Amino acid sequence: MDYFKNLLDLLKIEREEDRNQYRKLTETTSVAERRANGLTWYPIAIRGSEMSRGDYLTVEVERTTHQDIPHQLRFGMPAVFFSNHDPKNDRVEGTVTHQSGNRLKITLRTDELPDWSRDGKLGVEALFDDNSYDEMEAALKQANTLSEKSDNRLISILTGEKSPTFHPETPTRYLPKLNPSQVSAVGKMLTANELAIVHGPPGTGKTTTLVQAIKALIAQDHKKILVVAPSNTAVDLLSEKLHDEGLNVLRVGNPARVSERLMALTLDHKMAEHPYMREAKKLKKQANEFKNMAHKYKRNFGKAERDQRKALFDEAHRIMKEVGSSEQYIIDDLITKAQVITATLVGANHYTVRNLTYHTVVIDEAGQALEPACWIPILKAQKVVLAGDHCQLSPTIKSAEAARKGLSITLLEKCVSLHPEAVSLLDEQYRMHEHIMGYSSQVFYENKVRAHASVARHSLFEGDTSLVFVDTAGCGFDEKLEGTSSTNPEEAALLIKHLTQLVADLSTRYTKQDFPTIAIISPYKQQITILKDQLLSAPELQDYGNKISVNTIDSFQGQERDIVYISMTRSNAEGEIGFLSDIRRMNVAMTRARKKLIIVGDSATLAGFPFYADFIAYSENLNAYQSAWEWM
């Protein structure tokens, strides 16, 4: 089917570009640069090792310095364990099987620690993640075969060849925690035979709705449900909420947030608690002892010693086989008992759950999910629920060509336009003052989203305005280019000045404990750097440092603050706005604030683009327009 062949081609382009970028990052750089780029932990100390599945060795390591550097080493990633003594030859590949804080476990494709692990300094480095691409490719090929061979209804619906069906209304459930649009979304998920879509604009309680729907689906079908999302953070949030509702949740993979409560839901933890595990642990210890004895015979002994060494190794392997089958029994038992299995999209193919099938799969944050990755869980189910918002950020794609040819269009977006009858819009939001929300609702949601009474008029204090556009036109604040990123130091200085005044005003109304939370966001990375520097040199703001966060728009998706400042940055005579023209990104930015949104920008540059021209008119109608001259 051309549909999947096309996706396979796009995925190939993306893999190539991703691999090239990885090569660029690694081939010509020193270990210190790779560490700064988050690819490498170096130096590390070995904290322990044990035999694991398939006679491989699992080593636990800890990074002993540079612990504040963010890194990309995640559960399931291929990685290499190396020594700086001879990094070309002293290296062995493996997979990261656990990561939390400054420790990780890596399972190496060897059955003993190499001799060189005692020489020089050791490190662990992320390898290019071919595994994820292989899984996506395999899923697309399988979907293609199924679409050509059999009458697979779900595939024909998702590719637009057939329409979804719904069975007559099921008895309505009593859902006191939900509003009418949420109740009707749950109803649609229960009556759908193949596809239901939950469209959740910012602040509309999508997670709450999904949790109640999953609970209702389990009560209705008594069948296992698979819940997936593109990011570990989203999976963690749902896992925790489903667990709080009393469901038996099994979290496959390694949570991003390492809280006690989440850890208790993971397969590793549940296995460790299982009554049969005691026996397996005893056997494992025995195998490790045999192995250690075998290691005492070094290779240059005579025949008798060699035979003895081999006998000890054979015995260790035999015991490990036994451990393997009792662990498999425990895994099967835990899976049987679980009502919900949660994982990332690729994690749904983890070896422990690879062959499971489900009645329903729920894909959350589907607006940020790469379509090829969605097919991994979809092929395991008869029915799919897509939840997300295609009017917010789409997935990150490395290849401009693949994005242009359609890889950036998500399955959610396709299905919303193909099958409007499957869509439920959540239309009541619980985050923003109605003036903050109004423009987003008008442009993206056909004016259908409204503010719940509890937030519609809430403000920082009686009589405060909730929306401000500070116009820098005519101030001569011209943007500069730093590397590939735009900056505007004067706009940044004005924003910090505005913030300083606001904080001074609020400090007479709030104590430090209950002071409002503040975010300063900008689409441009370099502008963020400048804002952070200026914030540090503003003495009046130092006492409130823990209340103020500064970061790019993308890192705030899904978050909220009482007050949000947006630094638009672009200001030039040509009216060029670059990727500010990505209005979905602006939708995310403009909908993070609960009580006050302040946008600082140059109307002369922005107004050439209809989205911003209309926004400026919207703010003028609300008396929210100010000239920067008032602040100069």
Q: For 89-141, write each residue's pLDDT tens digit.
A: 889 999 999 888 899 999 998 888 888 888 789 999 999 999 999 999 999 99
How large is the average pLDDT for residues 430-458? 97
Fold (topology level) of 38-128? Elongation Factor Tu (Ef-tu); domain 3 (2.40.30)
Please give the single-letter amino acid code of residue 238.
L
Which of these CATH numbers, 3.40.50.970, 1.10.287.3510, 3.40.190.10, 3.40.50.300, describes 430-630? 3.40.50.300
Residue indicated by tokens 């396709």? 414
pLDDT at 148 over 80: yes
CATH of domain 132-248+340-426: 3.40.50.300
CA angle 413, 205, 522 (to 5 degrees): 70
Q: With 0-12 CB in 10 A as exposed, 13-18 as middle and 19+ as buried, what is 91?
A: middle
Q: Beta strand pairing status for 518-522 and 561-567?
A: parallel
Asked whether the beta carbons of 606 and 614 are under 8 A apart, the reply is: no
The per-residue pLDDT for 299 is 58
Q: How confident is the model at residue 350 (pLDDT cuts 50, 70, 90)?
A: very high
Asked whether the beta carbons of 219 and 354 are under 8 A apart, the reply is: no
The per-residue pLDDT for 260 is 83
pLDDT at 295 over 80: no
Q: Using CA atoms, how far apart are residues 250 and 261, in angstroms rounded to an integer?
A: 12
Q: How confident is the model at residue 297 (pLDDT cuts 50, 70, 90)?
A: confident
Please, which contacts does 253-257 make with residues 24 or more away whose CB atoms are closer than 8 Å?
253/75, 253/76, 253/343, 253/344, 253/347, 253/350, 254/74, 254/75, 254/76, 254/97, 254/98, 254/99, 254/100, 256/231, 256/232, 257/233
Q: How confident is the model at residue 241 (pLDDT cuts 50, 70, 90)?
A: very high
Q: Could you tell me which residues are beta bridge partners of residue 544?
A: none
Residue indicated by tokens 């011209």? 478
Q: Using CA atoms, how far apart are residues 163 and 169, in angstroms rounded to an integer?
A: 18
pTM for the complete prediction? 0.92
pLDDT at 298 over 70: no
Identify the three-state secondary structure at position 226.
strand
DSSP 8-state secondary structure symbol assigned to residue 218: H
Strand spans (E) along 473-526: 480-482, 485-487, 518-522
Asked whether the beta carbons of 151 and 161 are under 8 A apart, the reply is: no
Q: How confident is the model at residue 301 (pLDDT cuts 50, 70, 90)?
A: low
Q: What are the tens digits of pLDDT across the range 473-512?
A: 999 999 999 888 999 999 999 999 999 999 999 999 999 9
Please give the single-letter amino acid code of residue 536.
L
The per-residue pLDDT for 171 is 67
Identify the three-state secondary structure at position 92.
strand
